[in-house]
Amino acid sequence: MKWYQGQIKLSITNKDLNIEKKVIRKFPNINIIGSSSNNFIDGNYSEISNLEYINTQNNELTEKILFFGDAEIFNSDFLKKKYSIGTDLIISLYKHIGIDFIKELYGEFSFVLIDIIKKEVILATDHLGIKPLFWTIHREMIVYASDLFLLEEYYDPNKLNKEYFKEYIDNNGQISSKLTPYSDVERVEGGNYIKISYDKWKINTTTYWDLSSIVEKIQYKDEKEYIDEFREILKDSISNRLARKDKNAVLMSGGLDSTSIFALSKSYFDKDIKPISGVFDKLKSCDERYFIEMVLDKYNTDKIYVKCDEFGMLKGYPEDYIRTDEPYIDSLNLELTKNLIMESSRVSRINLIDGYAADHLLSGSLINVLDKIKSCQMSDAFKDIVEISIMENNSVFESINRYIFTPLINKSSFPEFDDSMFERIRKRFSKNMGYNQKQLYIEIFNAKSYHCLDREIAPLYNVTSRHPFLDKELLEYIYKIPGDFRSNRKYNKYILREAIKGFLPEEIIERITKTQHVSLTFKGINENWHKIYKDACDFKLSFLDILGISKHEWIEELMRFRNGQINDGNFMALLSLELWFANHFDGCKSYNH
């Protein structure tokens, strides 16, 4: 993981950016391996890193193209051979083919390119914005940084962006756009680059990657070809995210996704990798040791368990609550996540891989039937409806109405997704997208939200978290193949279950239930309710003037939640936002520019 910050303006006077002090203040225990501070003609820049990093930048004042950022390019060897270039990959590619080189990058990155001759700055992030980049214009100066906290002196924290919070609520805590909580700061959205002419202040945004622009479809005669290719791509994705020198860990539950990552890692790669697993002695309904130990026995691996009975939702609030620069719905379960990360750090496993986004990528729905109807596969479509109705315990008529009639009649509605969220995303659909692709597109749009784990929790313990199921090639492959490989009459995640056969015990592969942590959630709430309620009942959300509920109705929702009733809709997003406001406004009282 890497942090960086810079400023760009003609004839700027040098200024100490104090990036190292800012990072240490936010992450007091961080182990900084190296630091540098460099000034150049049209701006200044500094960076630090908590992981060893291949330095691809050129800081000579005589250079006319400058690169700053955090880039892990998985196909760098291929690109160097293709274009006959050596070091300074990004700069060399830009010199060879211009900014279009970004379409050929395969990896995770955010970077800033400064072309001094053209007087242009280019800000870019990877396909999903996994590595973030923020920017603002402050007193005729472009200021950019990898994290919001590095820009705190360049924006007013009291000037909040209502559009951001509306999207946060509509998307149930998932933000995937250029918006930030602050009116003065933007995020470079994943799959985009921004070109700024810094002598004329002309700004253009270009989308260079989006699933909806993919028109190719993959059609094989043999199902085995699909499965074998999927396994190879997943293997490559895991391999690219395994650290070369550091000891690795997998955040492993007893479910299919994380156990698949561990099994493939142990089977194919000569890496030191261990599973970190949360277990429960008292809350038996949450415990997955039965499945976890099947995998440990198969691969003759020692267990690393974290006892999690006491790490309920909002445990330790507000003392252990982390004040963040933007809200995260994940912050409600901070204590559970934090203790798993702490254990990974304690056993010196600072590169942590997880199964995040497998549900988004590989779980389909009965909406596939519409694609079959469009292609006149009526017999298969009807069989799907009957079989999945049985699985979901619905009548055939209910399934037909929900998955066929409703999306066909109402173009602004899509099964399983909030209408307001769907309406926002629908504008991005292309004409040639099938229904399965539309469903996948919505899922991935939500999966690329910015993670509390990656930027707020893991760095506290010198850990970097990685997500193989967010891999660009993997996303594109699943998008191109038939929807039955995501969900069919037999299984959800069908292609993963078939690809992992022989690598995991059959009981895990055929498992269709998912462990719920409901008892853990309410244990934490019950033990700490008086402190949570004190902040949550203020209903600071009302100042946004975008909610359709009153303070009285909000308090009723809180009490239902307190009594163990499952709240409908976006309650968790609202709760995370209300607590974020309580901490944010408290922090702003002492804010000083």
E-only strand ranges, 431-520: 464-466
Over 60: is that where the pLDDT of 405 sits? yes
CA distance 197 to 203: 7
Per-residue pLDDT, 384: 80
Cα separation, 238 vs 234, in Å, equals 6
- What is the band of 94 on the pLDDT scale with cuts at 50, 70, 90? very high
Answer yes or no: is pLDDT of 53 > 80: no
**For the ranges 4-8, 34-38, 171-175, 301-305, the one whose mean pLDDT is highest:** 301-305
Q: Which amino acid is at 120?
A: E
According to the model, what pLDDT value does residue 251 have?
A: 97
Residue 51 has a pLDDT of 32
- What average pLDDT does range 3-25 have in this prediction? 69
97: which 2 tokens?
């083919």
Check if the beta carbon of residue 507 is closer than 8 Å to that of residue 288.
no
Q: What was the pLDDT predicted at 36?
A: 43
For residue range 97-126, list pLDDT tens digits in order. 999 999 999 999 999 998 988 889 999 999
Angle subtended at Cα 562 by Cα 557 and Cα 565, rounded to the nearest 5 degrees: 70
DSSP three-state, residue 387? helix
2-133+188-209: CATH architecture: 4-Layer Sandwich (3.60)
Q: Using a pLDDT cut of 70, give the percent of the chain over it.
A: 90
pLDDT tens digits for 303-337?
Answer: 999 999 999 899 888 888 888 999 998 888 889 99
CB 211 within 8 A of CB 219: no
Kindly list the domain boundaries of the chain, sorted by start residue.
Answer: 2-133+188-209, 223-360+446-509, 518-588
- When pLDDT is averaged across residues 452-472 and rounded to a whole number, the result is 92
- Tell me, what's the pLDDT at 470? 96
The pTM for the full model equals: 0.89
Does the domain at 223-360+446-509 match CATH 3.10.20.30? Answer given as: no
- Segment 273-295 mean pLDDT: 95
- Mean residue pLDDT of the chain comes to 85
Specify the pLDDT at position 395. Answer: 86
User: If DSSP codes are grouped into helix, strand and coil, which group holds residue 364?
Assistant: coil
pLDDT, position 354? 96
pLDDT band at 541 (very low <50, low <70, confident <90, very high): confident
Q: Determine the distance from the C-alpha atom of residue 16 to the mean position of all C-alpha atoms in its chain, rounded to a whole number.
A: 32
Q: Kindly indicate the confidence band of residue 52, based on its pLDDT and cuts at 50, 70 and 90.
A: very low
Q: 569: which 2 tokens?
A: 């809709």
